[in-house]
Structure 1
Amino acid sequence: MKDESYPDRRGFLRRSIAIVPAATAFGAGGLTGAALAQPATPAPATTPAAAAPPATPYTPVYFNAAEWAFVQAAVARLIPSDDAGPGAIEAGVPEFIDRQMEGAFGHAATWYMQGPFVEVSPLFGYQKKMPPREVYRAGIAATDDYSRKQFSGKTFAQLEPARQDEVLKGLEGGTITLDGVGATDFFGFLLQNTKEGYFSDPIHGGNKNAAAWKMIGFPGARADYADWVDRPGVKYNLPPVSIAGPQG
């Protein structure tokens, strides 16, 4: 059923809108012409194909259990699944965010972080002392504290969807004050990383099976479109390609 409680989520996604590994060439050590000419021996009809092993659930590296529950609940409200496409959970956005916390972004490794730290216009971008991973840790804890005080001891992840939307809107608009971290700073990172995880190359953990790319018709990191240059108006129907290879 389509979720109407926090409208126009798909609208912001559509408004938000590498190199492929070369095909392996057979060299001197590759298959011989005779071997290539031999037809493959079919498997006996009575031998069933081996089933692919189930995917192993992702175990967060940075977030603890309470933080992980918050991240999953929050991104599920920012991009819920509906008739238009998969939601953030199905696309693996929580995994993307967790992996970012242990990377250069989470540590602000490439940012100037020596101060002075003063209040400035948002036009100047993020100008605070805490790197993103610390903003997440402080923001999640403070939001859960706010939720417990406002909603009978329940954490954000334990709230019903309508209440979760109410809290997220308060963080976005700055009408909720958090202890130790700016609400709009925290929500800004959360929304930014949710969109990035949804549309990023699958190699980074999000956009599982290139589901978001398929939804918007993005071909991915294909290296060669020469066969399509002179075909205006013809639908491009090849599956998207990740940096790691084809995505079905």
Structure 2
Amino acid sequence: MSDADRDNPRREFLRKSLTLIPVVTLAGTGLGSSVLQAAPEAAPVAPAATPAKADASAYQPSYFTAEEWAFINAAVAHLIPNDEQGPGALEAGVPEYIDRQMNTPYAAGALWYMQGPFNADAAPEMGWQSKLVPKEIYRLGIAATDQWAKSLNGKTFAEQDSATREDLLKQLEAGKPQFDAVPAKIFFSLLLQNTKEGFFCDPIHGGNKGMVGWTMIGFPGARADFMDWVERNEQYPFPAVSIRGERA
């Protein structure tokens, strides 16, 4: 099976699963519908014109180290690949979005109640359920994943071939590797959630460059009024608009 054939179900999963992306919570570490498994067939959506490819090298991370940055780029490119249906996570600027988030109060847990007890099996509405904050989960999770990958064949995650990355991500999602610093399933859940956020956020946050995510699902963006189209059984005909007034 080719990479394109294997990755297509992820596009369908994204189209159907994204209405509003909630704030990340580790109350439940299960992902419901797995992005690494084939999703049910969805109605086809006409692909949008592909914008000029983003220059990933133009952005220099302020939080992630070079090794961590290589992991982020490799992982998100595999979670949302660039294929015949449109640009992927790299072209949309997802790595930039994640790095910029690491310098916000969100990544430091500054807006949450961070006193115990923590219960990983608590309902999502109970809030964040880990003593680790997002920036710590990334730092510890990437280091643990690279060490685990090296133990297999001497290569970091970013240095692996596509098939091996696929297998490693599936194992992370299932929580199979036993990391001392952070549960693998929690790390993968955060990575996947932030990847989806970066693909569908307003471009002002660094991701969804060219509004490629919004265009893919037909979301109008920050338009002042589109209520006339809410109950129509037809595709919204106008391009998405960002908070800054940019048009897709």
Give the TM-score, by structure 1 length: 0.77
Alpha-carbon distance between aligned partners in 2 of 1:64 and 1:158, rounded to the nearest angstrom: 16
CA contact (8 A) 1:85 1:212 kept: no
Pair 3,122 (structure 1): closer, same or farther in 2 beyond 3 Å:
farther
Which position in structure 2 is the counterpart of 1:244? 244
Q: CA RMSD in A?
A: 2.3
1:126: how far off?
Answer: 3.9
Which position in structure 1 is the counterpart of 2:169? 168
Pair 172,232 (structure 1): closer, same or farther in 2 beyond 3 Å:
closer
Which position in structure 1 is the counterpart of 2:209? 208
Which position in structure 2 is the counterpart of 1:70? 71
1:17-55, Cα deviation, whole Å (9 max, x unpaired)? 2xxxxxxxxxxxxxxxxxxxxxxxxxxxxxxxxxxxx97
Which position in structure 1 is the counterpart of 2:31? none
State, as a whole percentage, how many aligned pairs show the same letter: 52
Matched position secondary structure for 2:91? coil
Which position in structure 2 is the counterpart of 1:149? 151
CA contact (8 A) 2:100 2:206 kept: yes
Which position in structure 2 is the counterpart of 1:45? none
Which position in structure 2 is the counterpart of 1:105? 106
Unaligned runs of 5+ in 1: 18-53
Pair 130,232 (structure 1): closer, same or farther in 2 beyond 3 Å:
closer
Alpha-carbon distance between aligned partners in 2 of 1:198 and 1:69, rounded to the nearest angstrom: 18
Pair 209,174 (structure 1): closer, same or farther in 2 beyond 3 Å:
same
Alpha-carbon distance between aligned partners in 2 of 1:234 and 1:97, rounded to the nearest angstrom: 34
Pair 7,129 (structure 1): closer, same or farther in 2 beyond 3 Å:
same
Q: Which residues in structure 2 correspond to 1:4-15 (within 5 Å)?
A: 4-6=5-7, 8-15=9-16
Amino acid at match of 1:16: S
CA contact (8 A) 2:199 2:208 kept: yes
1:127-173, Cα deviation, whole Å (9 max, x unpaired)? 1111000000000000000000012x100000001100111101100
Pair 230,243 (structure 1): closer, same or farther in 2 beyond 3 Å:
closer
Give the TM-score, by structure 2 length: 0.77
Q: Name the larger-Rg structure.
A: 1
1:233: how far off?
Answer: 5.9
1:32-84, Cα deviation, whole Å (9 max, x unpaired)? xxxxxxxxxxxxxxxxxxxxxx9781111110100000000000000001111
Which position in structure 2 is the counterpart of 1:198? 199
